[in-house]
Structure 1
Amino acid sequence: MVYNSKQSDPQVQLNLSSCRLKPKYFDGTMTHPYCSKRCAPTGTKSSKASSNASSTPTNTANCDVYHDSTASRHDSLQFCHIRPKYSGHNFCSRTCAQKAGSQSLSKSNGGPRGLCHAPGCQKPAHIDPDGSSAELVETICLLCRKAPKLAKSHFCSQNCRDEAEKKGPMILEVPIGHVTFKDVADQFKASWRHPNTHCPAVKQVYKILAPQAQLASYNAYRASVEARGQFVSAGRHPGNENRRWHGTRRECNLGDKGHTQFCSSQTCSLCCIVRTSFDLSSFGKGTGWGRFGRGIYTSSTSSKSNDYSRNEGCKSPLKAILLNKVVVGKGHKLTSNHETLTAPPNGCDSVLGEKGGTLNYDQ
């Protein structure tokens, strides 16, 4: 091994024979081009060492290409370039498989080798026994970010869920690649129905943690609607609960990358809704009227709600939109304006504006 003195860092140079498996043979006076007679082609005689050949034997590490006359050299290797692949596998051993998994994860993550994908996490990524990197980011608990979440939950345990509810109101960033991020982004794209308009890409998704008292009130109302309508027995969610979009104005950058704190403005609709949920006293302040009278408006059409989403007083290329759980219950269907309504008709829990008549999209 020699290093170039003109370089600030030493450079390793290996004096290998053509097979790159063993060092060139040194007979005491000269270095031959091959490691042995077996390696040398038939009929080829060793010649004097060239001027750039070493005049002393060189100790080397194992070669970086496996010498195999029956298989392609590079095809027989996958990662270490030292040993052939184990029969039926892509790697020679579990050790190489694990190293390859870590490096692959590092390249896709764009960060230090083998780090977790979760935002802000600097811990090594988990590697499965077979050497593959576990995509924990897809199912990671949104609070502790240490374990996979439970099915039909954003959290890994009841303890994390309880702790999250205690922290409300606040918003938790959902990592890109998480199943929740994909679920929300897919619904946004699938429900964009305005023709000749561009559906913008979803950049950030956050889980809203509501205060415990607010959650308890919502759950109690949903239970009462379910008791009247028996929607579960018809194959629906309790209370005929659905996810609906709501566009509103914001005066701050809440929701932009790194912005998770509420502003202090009492007129920032986004912060007020996230902090305390919807307030009927704010009805009509943004639009001046309501197609179906006084109420809280949502839509299954993301492009419809997008029309009501805007920034006022904040500089951002992004806009915010809310995806809400709505207890629809038994809906009263309308296809034309009814601006004098103050509540759903008796026996109904909501008003459903359906496409047709004066409506181009549902609300």
Structure 2
Amino acid sequence: MLSPPFALERSPQIHRDQASLPSHRVGCEFTIVETILVFPFVLLLFISSPIMASIVRNVVNWSAQHGRSSPQMQSDMCEVCGKRPKFVEKGHKHPYCGRTCASKTSQSSGKSSSPTTPITVNTTTAKTCLIPGCPYDAKFQGYCDPEHAMEAVKSGQAQGCDMCHDQPVSINIRASRGSSARKLCVGCNRALTGGTQLKELGNRDSQFQDVRKRFIQEWNVQGEALPTVNKVYQVIVPRDHLSRYAAHKKTLHKAQEMRTYHASLMLCDLGTKGPFICERQGCGICSVLRSSFETFAFGDKHQQGRFGPGIYTQMNPKLADKEATTITTSPYRIMVACDILVDADQEPISMDDEPAFTKTSDAIKAAYVIVYSM
């Protein structure tokens, strides 16, 4: 062990060397060297520690949750745009959100395998949609919906109806009344065999002018823009329903006929492609036209309201307009002008907010289909 004198002999030299340099520089030189030697070991210990592992796991989990949607959420979104939820019709989930994305899907699938000549197939026995690549059940003339049926006709995969040229021919149907050679779809055959039909009125027709004038006058609103009536279709009601309507009228003590309005969800292009009633169950307007108010959208047998199950319409078309919704790209709104039978002895209906209510479809008939825009 060195004696204190030896230590004192060396210390003046060390102090002189240190005195010639700034004090903090000597300390820094020692710290940097020490850090370089020790840093790898400290870093290894920090990474392997439980705290660091927990931090890494939390970062990874946060990235997974915010970086992508869950598989369930992805499966519920439209397979074309991925921005809106898939359209669900009576428990059946379609792969798209609406008609626009459906048409894109149809075009892409139709281009891949379109035959050069139309094919006549038995659309009534098909189990899955006949559009190539579509896995959904055939619920509409061999296709999952009217859009795919129309796309098949446009692309030449199916033979089109001789009357409307839009929907595929139904192999089990032939038109009556001496026109058996014509090949028709279900809708056109129904029209020719006594079902509900629509007749477009010219804008100079007196009926058109009367319907338009009354529609605007009864649009009971102040300080707001009034609608523009673009088209009017006269509803040709089946004879059997007219008979029931007349029979019900006789049961009333003082029968009175009133004009009311009905609007609902639209799933077709009624108003843009002629006076054709679609066969889609989810289409509210076409459902009441086909069935004479015996069936509503999605197969419902009645509507629900403050007076119980039955049929609800409005005297003020402005109030009915709240129900005029659509998933199509049509610029129009659709409303049915109805005639209902009420007993003159009952309390009068207010046009402000009171709906007109009938318990039976025998007390109501469709008169006109009004195509309008705001």
Give me the TM-score of the superposition, normalised by structure 1: 0.41
Q: Compare the two structures and name the one with the higher helix fraction.
A: 2
Q: Compare the two structures and name the one with the higher strand fraction.
A: 2
Larger CA Rg, structure 1 vs 2: 2
Higher relative contact order (CA 8 A, sep 6+): 2
Give me the TM-score of the superposition, normalised by structure 2: 0.40
